[in-house]
C-alpha cells in the first residue's frame, strides 16, 4: 500500500502540490486525474522518491520512500517523456535495468519486444514517440516491481497497442500482484482501467473514491415538469451541481444515488423523466466546475 499524507511541494512561489493525502491500495488500478497544472506529475515524482517533499510523507508498505533504496526497489516510474541513455538501444536499457531490479525478466522482455515489433538493436533515438512509450512500458512491466507509476504513458499509443498493454497489465495484476498508478488526461481510457480515482485541482485533492462508488453517487437527470410548481418542489433541498433549461427540458447534474433521484422525481408530476449515469469525463467536468474551473469561462471569458 502507498500512503500519502499531507504532501506539499512548491517551486519558488508556485505551490504545485498542496497538502495532499491519498491511499493507494494494493492489487488495484489507481487513476490520478486533474486539471492542467494540478500537480499529477509532481505527486508521482515524490511517490517514487525523485523529488523531496517540502512537507508531508510518502510511505510504501509502511516504509518512507525518499532516500530509501529498499523502498524504491518496489517502484518503477515511467515519465511522460521517458528517459533513455544517449545512443542506447533496447539491449542497453535491458542490461541497465537488469542490474537495478533483481526481478527483471530479460527473457520475457525480449519476447515482448518481438511481439511489439521493436528492434532490440535499433537506436532508441530513431524510435517514434509511440515506440518509445511501448519500450518504457515493457521495461517497467518486466522489472516486476510491486508498483508501476505511469505519467501519461498511454499518450501516443495506437488503439491496438493500448489494448495490448492493458491485457499485459491485467495478466501482471492477476499473476504477480502488480499495482499500476496511472496519471492521465485521457479519462475515457482510465474509465476502462481504473478501480479507484483521485481527482486533483490546483495542487489539492477534490476527491478520492472507488470509480463505481463515484458513478453511483452522481446522476444526470433530464425531465419536463408538468408545472413550474412541480419544478420548484423537485429542486427544493436537492443537491444540484449543475442545472440547465432549454425550453421545457430541464437537465440537472445531481449529487445523489439513483434511487434517491428516482424517488424525488416520482413525488412530482413530470411529462418526461430519465436518470442517466455519468461518464468519468462528465464527473470530472462537474466536480471541477463546482470549484470554478468552468469551460464556459474558458471559451467566453
Do the Cβ atoms of 147 and 117 come closer than 8 Å? no
Which helix (H) or strand (E) segment holds residue 133: the answer is helix 129-142
Domain with CATH 3.30.70 in the chain: 217-300
**Residue, of 293 and 15, whose pLDDT is higher:** 15
Domain with CATH 3.40.50.300 in the chain: 2-209
**How do strand 30-34 and strand 179-183 relate by DSSP bridges?**
parallel
Class assignment of domain 2-209?
Answer: alpha beta
d(CA 49, CA 63): 12
Average pLDDT for 123-130: 94
Q: For 191-224, how does the pLDDT look when each residue is reduced to its tens digit (9 = 90+)?
A: 778 888 888 877 777 667 788 877 788 889 999 9
d(CA 28, CA 24): 8
Collapsing DSSP states into helix, strand and coil, what is residue 8? strand
d(CA 93, CA 139): 8
Average pLDDT for 77-103: 94
The model scores a pTM over 0.95: no
d(CA 215, CA 210): 9
Does pLDDT of 296 surpass 80? no
Q: In the prediction, which pLDDT does 297 show?
A: 43
Domain 217-300 coded CATH 3.30.70 = yes
Average pLDDT for 170-190: 87
Phi, psi of 17 (to 5 degrees): -135, 130
Q: In the prediction, which pLDDT does 298 show?
A: 32
Amino acid at each position: 500500500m502507498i500512503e500519502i499524507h499531507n504532501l506539499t511541494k512548491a517551486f519558488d512561489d508556485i505551490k504545485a502540490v498542496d497538502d495532499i493525502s491519498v491511499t493507494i491500495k494494493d492489487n488495484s488500478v489507481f487513476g490520478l486525474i486533474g486539471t492542467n497544472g494540478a500537480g499529477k506529475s509532481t505527486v508521482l515524482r515524490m511517490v517514487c522518491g525523485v523529488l523531496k517533499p517540502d512537507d508531508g510523507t510518502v510511505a510504501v508498505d509502511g516504509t518512507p520512500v525518499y532516500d530509501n533504496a529498499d523502498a524504491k526497489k518496489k517502484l518503477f516510474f515511467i515519465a511522460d517523456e521517458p528517459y533513455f541513455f544517449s545512443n542506447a538501444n533496447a539491449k542497453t536499457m535491458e542490461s541497465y535495468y537488469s542490474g537495478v531490479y533483481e526481478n527483471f525478466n530479460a527473457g520475457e522482455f525480449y519476447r515482448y519486444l518481438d511481439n511489439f515489433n521493436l528492434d532490440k538493436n535499433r537506436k532508441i533515438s530513431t524510435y517514434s514517440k509511440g515506440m518509445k512509450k511501448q519500450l518504457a512500458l515493457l521495461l517497467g512491466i518486466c522489472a516486476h516491481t510491486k508498483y508501476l507509476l505511469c505519467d501519461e504513458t498511454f499518450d501516443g499509443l495506437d488503439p491496438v497497442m493500448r489494448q495490448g498493454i492493458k491485457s499485459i497489465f491485467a495478466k501482471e495484476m492477476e499473476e504477480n500482484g502488480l499495482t499500476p498508478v496511472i496519471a492521465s488526461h485521457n479519462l475515457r481510457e482510465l474509465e476502462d482501467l481504473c478501480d479507484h480515482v483521485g481527482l486533483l485541482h490546483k495542487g489539492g485533492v477534490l476527491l478520492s473514491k472507488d470509480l463505481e462508488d463515484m458513478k453511483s453517487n452522481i446522476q444526470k437527470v433530464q425531465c419536463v415538469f408538468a408545472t413550474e410548481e412541480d419544478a420548484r418542489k423537485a429542486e427544493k433541498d436537492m443537491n444540484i451541481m449543475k442545472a440547465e433549461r432549454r425550453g421545457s427540458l430541464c437537465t440537472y447534474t445531481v449529487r445523489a444515488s439513483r434511487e434517491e433521484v428516482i424517488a424525488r422525481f416520482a413525488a412530482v408530476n413530470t411529462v418526461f423523466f430519465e436518470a442517466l449515469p455519468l461518464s468519468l469525463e462528465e464527473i470530472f467536468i462537474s466536480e471541477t466546475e463546482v470549484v470554478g474551473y468552468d469551460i464556459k469561462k474558458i471559451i467566453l471569458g
